[in-house]
Amino acid sequence: MVLFQLLSTVVVLGFEQLVQWEYGPMGMVCLCLLAVGMRMRNSTCVSLGAVVFVLLMVQA
**What pLDDT, in 10s, does the model give residues 3-48?**
888 888 888 888 878 777 877 888 888 888 888 888 899 999 999 9
Q: Is 30 exposed, middle or buried (0-12, 13-18, 19+ CB in 10 A)?
A: buried
Predicted confidence at residue 21, as pLDDT, reads 80
Kindly report the CA angle at 59 between 57 and 60, in degrees rounded to 5?
A: 70
Does the residue 9 lie in any domain?
Answer: no
- pTM greater than 0.75 (yes/no): no
Cα of first residue to Cα of last residue in the chain, in angstroms, is 39
Residue 35 lies in a domain: yes
The domain containing residue 33 runs over which residues? 24-60
Q: Tell whether 36 is covered by a domain.
A: yes
Q: Is 21 exposed, middle or buried (0-12, 13-18, 19+ CB in 10 A)?
A: exposed
Q: Which of 10, 34, 8, 41 is nearest to 26 (CA)?
A: 34
What total number of domains does the chain contain?
Answer: 1
Q: Is residue 43 part of a domain?
A: yes
- With respect to residue 41, please indicate whether it lies within any of the assigned structural domains: yes
